[in-house]
Amino acid sequence: MKRCVIFDLDGTLVHTLPDIAAAMNRTLEKFGLPVFGESAYKYKVGNGVLKLTERCIGERKDLYQQVLETYKADYAVNNQVNSKAFLGVPEMLKALCDKGVYVCVLTNKDQADAERVLGHYFPDAHFSVIRGRREGVPLKPDPTGALLIAEQLGVEPDDCWYVGDTSTDMNTGNAAGMETIGVLWGYRPREELTANGARHLVSEPEEIVELVMA
């Protein structure tokens, strides 16, 4: 049995898209920029707030910094409005923790936002490590963050699972030498996960427990 499971956050543990879309659309409206339907954000999120902003402003590069800062301020206080934990995830996290497995999160979300969201939706979960976007550490799909988690816990990369819902996650886990699990309840289709090297695909959170404990 592997000793550590590292999870992505958005689209894997929490359905955060409604609050991300709402905060960004409010921001775009303030600057007279076009807004997007919520489903469009499935392909705008996943690479952190800097890339999200870039994808949303289009050619208006002159507004980049203003949109970025306005969105960050909005989302910081509106990230628990319509988001929700995916069904079965709290129970899955508890089952893994009860078995003595290190349960960790690696996300391109800003560190403070990641801690706020996880603390709100999983108040009873014990996360061994939460790593969000930090200065000096490259974002996923660079494997540095995943490898730093393994190093911090004193486990080898091949003793870890990496779980996520996008190509970014599969590429991160594979580059780190971890066994990858793609979740099918997230923001990207099965085809993207398999094309980017998902070792396993799961439709329900309880399947993750079964894989980890096998």
Kindly report, residue by residue over 175-200, the tens digit of the pLDDT: 999 999 999 999 999 999 999 999 99
Q: Hey, what CATH topology would domain 4-15+83-213 get?
A: Rossmann fold (3.40.50)
| Mean pLDDT of the 55-79 span | 97
| Mean pLDDT of the 157-175 span | 98
Q: What is the pLDDT of residue 86?
A: 98
Looking at the structure, give the CATH architecture of the domain made up of residues 17-77.
Orthogonal Bundle (1.10)
- Is a pLDDT exceeding 90 seen at residue 40? yes
C-alpha 35/C-alpha 53 separation (Å) is 12
Q: Which of 8, 19, 113, 165 is catalytic?
A: 8
| Mean pLDDT of the 168-174 span | 98
Place of tokens 């399947």: 207
Q: What is the pLDDT of residue 142?
A: 97
Q: What is the 3-state secondary structure (H, E, C) of 58-82?
A: CCCHHHHHHHHHHHHHHHHHCCCCC
Ranges for all domains in the chain classified under CATH 3.40.50.1000: 4-15+83-213
Ranges for all domains in the chain classified under CATH 1.10.150: 17-77
Q: What is the pLDDT of residue 5?
A: 98
- Whether 206 contacts 92, CB under 8 Å: yes
Q: What is the pLDDT of residue 114?
A: 96
| Mean pLDDT of the 73-96 span | 97
| Mean pLDDT of the 137-162 span | 97
Is residue 142 part of the annotated active site? The answer reads no
* Residue 44 pLDDT level (bands cut at 50, 70, 90): very high
* Residue 1 pLDDT level (bands cut at 50, 70, 90): confident
Distances (CA, A) of 62 to 53, 66, 74, 102, 179: 12, 9, 20, 44, 42
* Residue 79 pLDDT level (bands cut at 50, 70, 90): very high
- Whether 86 contacts 112, CB under 8 Å: no
